Amino acid sequence: MKKVEAIIRKSKFSTVKEALHDVGVNFFSYWDVTGLGNEKEGHVYRGVAFSTSDIQRRYLSIVVNDDFEAITIKAIVESASTGDVGDGKIFVSNIEECYRIRTGEKGGDTLN
């Protein structure tokens, strides 16, 4: 099993959520987060300068079976990309075990 964590633009969340559902990822958790990025310059909007390096993002946490890892990452990349700095990051880590609390089952089948 893999844990896929993604930090994306809040404006792309609906698109990413739909793309994940389309590939069969129907459960994940998410949070609103703020962070600092690589962009050093600000933008000017209607004469007011503001920093874009600390704009709010959405953090997704998704646990999938190994065979869904590539599909999940592809769905996020294709649906979250704008081609601009600040599109986000994806992190992948191993999950050793998963338990369903209600039944006590363990293993990859608990993700379905």
pLDDT at residue number 15 = 98
CATH number of 2-111: 3.30.70.120
- Categorize the per-residue pLDDT at 34 as very low, low, confident or very high, splitting at 50, 70 and 90: confident
**Bridge pairing between strands 48-51 and 56-64:** unpaired
Q: What is the pLDDT of residues 47-97, one digit of tens each?
A: 766 665 667 899 999 999 999 999 999 999 999 999 988 899 999 999 999
Report field, pTM of the whole predicted structure over 0.75: yes
Domain boundaries, the chain: 2-111
* Residue range 95-102: mean pLDDT, rounded: 95
> Phi and psi dihedrals of 101, rounded to 5?
-60, -45
Angle CA 33–34–35, to nearest 5: 125
- The mean pLDDT value of the chain amounts to 89
Instruction: Please name the helix (run of DSSP H) or strand (run of DSSP E) that holds residue 74, with its range, or none.
Output: helix 69-80
Give the model's pLDDT for residue 42.
Answer: 61
